[in-house]
Structure 1
Amino acid sequence: MAPAAARMPLEPLLLEYGRRYPEVELEVVTENALMDVIGKGFDARVRLAEAMSPDMVAIPITRTVRSLVVGSPEYFTRRSKPIVPLDLVQHR
């Protein structure tokens, strides 16, 4: 999972896990690039649901997080409304 995105969902889970199982040593790696977690020997990975490979088993670890794009009516008269996150690249 990207470093900037990892803190919010993982921190409370890891703190609770460490409290319950103090004898277990956890190693967390954050990485911006996609990697072969199986080939690298990792036991698990955290990804956004839409970024999951079809051959992976997904278990939700947080509630659904909603995002909003907001802009003034004037802004959207000059620009198309974004439909998917990648559309935001074309916006200010």
Structure 2
Amino acid sequence: MKKYPLIVIILLALVGIGLLMDGFKSFFILIISVLIGTLIFTLLLRLFANRKTDTNYQKAVKQSKNLHDPKKKTKKKRKSSFKVIDGGKK
């Protein structure tokens, strides 16, 4: 069985006492206000984050990447260091 530190037990006891002393009403109001704030924040974030970029801008970015993209150098083929020795059949 896992033992909790003393500070966690004390904090949980204080939370329980706070909720019992007419804290349920303010606790639920806090939860509702946090949910409403989260909903508004999410809607605003999606509204402004989902704007598509201009097609002309996308074309310019693509063209810039093609111009400034480092070209791969073609490798020169080396002669093989192995030599074929023709041997006669016996």
> Of the two, which has the highest radius of gyration?
2
Q: TM-score, with normalisation over the residues of structure 1?
A: 0.20
Q: TM-score, with normalisation over the residues of structure 2?
A: 0.20
Higher RCO, 1 vs 2 (CA within 8 Å, ≥6 residues apart): 1
